[in-house]
Amino acid sequence: MPATHKIIAAASLAIAAMLAPAHAQPSFSFSAPDSDIDGDIVLMVGEGLDMTATMTAVDAATSGRLTAALEQADFTGSFGASLKLHAMSPYETIVVIGTGEEELTPRKLTDLGGHAAAHSGDDVTVLADNLDTDVEAAGAWLAKGFALRSYSFDKYKSGDDADDTEQFVTVMSAAPAAATELYTGDLQYVVEGVTFARDIGTEPGNKVYPEVVADRVRTLFSGVRNVRIDVLDAQDIRREGMGSLMGVGMGSINDPRLVVIRYNGAGTDEAPIALVGKGITFDTGGISIKPNNGMWLMKSDLSGAVAVAGSVYAAAKRQAPVNIVGLMPLAENMPGRDAIRPGDVLTTMGGKTIEIISTDAEGRLVLADAVQYAQEEFNPRLLLNIATLTGSAARAVGDDYAVVITRDLETSLDMMEIGERAGEDVWPLPLHPSHFDQIKSDIADIKNTGGSPGASIGAAVVGTFIDEDQPWVHLDIAGVDWLNSDVATAPKGHAGWGVRFMDQLIREESE
């Protein structure tokens, strides 16, 4: 390696090291229910305040003050309801979380863990005996939700504002050995994948650009078995004829990258699942520049790409019996002197041409080359692309759902069920032949935008590069990747949306 390349490589690795995880995960231990405890505790209480053995013991220890406080507060035990009680000797605090009256699924258990974390301190014992659930090792799902909700990003805060306190959580529930195995050998990796996505999606744009993201992915997968990482640089991207991906990055001093993560957990002859995520490390809109209001949030325009990395990581760490390829087309969309202009024509890897109507419709451009590459190189059995693609998606379905678009309703309905189980909901929008008609260009094969409905038009642009016989799922997560307020399993900020959805998809596909 030439000396200059060694210097550049060392500098990029140093930057990647500076972007270490922003917040340590809680340390969990699992044990059988035991009322002989003190300090901070969390009680899980069902609808109607049915008294479990542990709750009865805690109430007795407080000389009946627990039940008196619940009655005074009119606490009913409805799902997710919470009440924090202080000075309940011998306990420092008692947090009561309602479990509702419906049977608790893994999703609901995860949410309950998140609700517990939202009101808990650094060292806490979660008492979860006699939960209304058939889920084996329910305590592990509580821990998953607790860890997801405990996330914080404060690495750029100084002094008293920085929180580097380690959190210790004991979960007391049935089957503690099984819960330990499930959490430490599986669900913990999903949490780590979500944390990776949140970290990179929260980092400021001056700290994260394509080369840095590629280095962070290498660091994430260091030592993970059966994984190969390939990074295509600008020279490789040009050599492959990816004029669309290259075009988006032309205005930036930071060259684009295409990160390819291959995980082989099944036989070499088995076709992989391909996950392709949009990775715009910062989106100014390019020459079609965005207004300043809200542009700061465009640091998270790589949410799809980092979710892909997090999903493949979770599957690889638990050694899922499936082959996966994750592709992260990465570029910074800037209005530099070499930036593409409205009216320009780009030639994609497959030879199709795209007329640029707006340089702010850039996500579909990087996906065009990436999905083509995925099909030509890997012949996947299923191709899913995920992107913060259109404001239209957010306006259509709000912030409770991501948009899913497929070629047939049955597949979309399957994706809705996967989202329900994963805890990341999707809602279908149509893809009609007229949407493809709307993107026909007078001077090129297609143009990169074509009116409304914007979410379907964006999907049509990407769909132009998907073979007709290729099973395909399109996720537009523009309305769900960033939270303006807390939810059960995530604090305000970057949600890491998509890791849990794709993780659930991988699980079901591998079965």
DSSP code per residue over 98-134: E--SSPPPHHHHHHHHHHHHHT--SEEEEE-TT-S--
Give the model's pLDDT for residue 503: 98
Per residue of the chain (511 residues), give pLDDT as tens.
Answer: 444 444 444 445 455 445 555 567 899 999 998 767 888 999 999 887 777 778 888 999 999 999 999 999 999 999 999 999 998 999 999 999 999 999 999 999 999 999 999 999 889 999 998 899 999 999 999 999 999 999 999 999 987 655 667 899 999 998 999 999 999 999 999 999 999 999 999 999 999 999 999 999 999 999 999 999 999 999 999 999 999 999 999 999 999 999 999 999 998 889 999 999 999 999 999 999 999 999 999 999 999 999 999 999 999 999 999 999 999 999 999 999 999 999 999 999 999 999 999 999 999 999 999 999 999 999 999 999 999 999 999 999 999 999 999 999 999 999 999 999 999 999 999 999 999 999 999 999 999 999 899 999 999 999 999 999 999 999 999 999 999 999 999 999 999 999 999 999 999 999 8
Q: Are strands 27-31 and 446-447 parallel, antiparallel or unpaired?
A: unpaired
List Cα–Cα distances, 135 to 5, 51, 105, 178, 510, in angstroms: 53, 21, 7, 11, 20
Q: How many residues does the chain have?
A: 511
The one catalytic residue in 218, 290, 352, 421 is 290
Helix (H, G, I), strand (E, B) or coil at 483: strand
DSSP 194-211: HHHHHHHHHS-TTT--HH
DSSP 430: -
Q: Which two tokens stand for residue 145?
A: 């939700």
The one catalytic residue in 107, 144, 278, 364 is 364
Token pair 């949407």 is found at 435
Distance CA 500, CA 299 (A): 21
Model pTM score = 0.94
Q: What is the CATH number of domain 203-510?
A: 3.40.630.10
By C-alpha distance, which of 74, 111, 78, 118 is closest to 95?
A: 118
Q: Is position 341 annotated as part of the catalytic site?
A: no
3-state secondary structure 225-257: CCEEEEEECHHHHHHCCCHHHHHHHHHCCCCCE
Give the model's pLDDT for residue 149: 97
Give the model's pLDDT for residue 87: 85
DSSP alpha helices (H): ranges in 388-495?
391-397, 409-422, 433-437, 454-463
Domain boundaries, the chain: 27-177, 203-510
Cβ-based burial of 428 (10 A; exposed 0-12, middle 13-18, buried ≥19): middle
Q: Does a cis peptide bond (omega within 30 degrees of 0) precede residue 380?
A: no
* Two domains, one topology: 27-177 and 203-510: no
182 backbone dihedrals φ, ψ, rounded to 5°? -65, -45
Tell me the fold of 27-177. Answer: Leucine Aminopeptidase, subunit E; domain 1 (3.40.220)
Question: End-to-end distance of the chain based on CA atoms, in angstroms?
Answer: 44
Give the model's pLDDT for residue 56: 87
Q: Is position 299 annotated as part of the catalytic site?
A: no
Give the model's pLDDT for residue 166: 83
Compute the half-sphere exposure of residue 3: CA atoms within 13 Å on the CB side of its CA. Answer: 0
Give the model's pLDDT for residue 159: 73
Give the model's pLDDT for residue 308: 98
Residue 410 burial (CB count, 10 A):
9
Where in 342-412 does DSSP place strands (E)? 345-347, 353-355, 382-387, 402-405
Give the model's pLDDT for residue 54: 82
Give the model's pLDDT for residue 19: 53
Distance CA 108, CA 114 (A): 10
Give the model's pLDDT for residue 8: 43
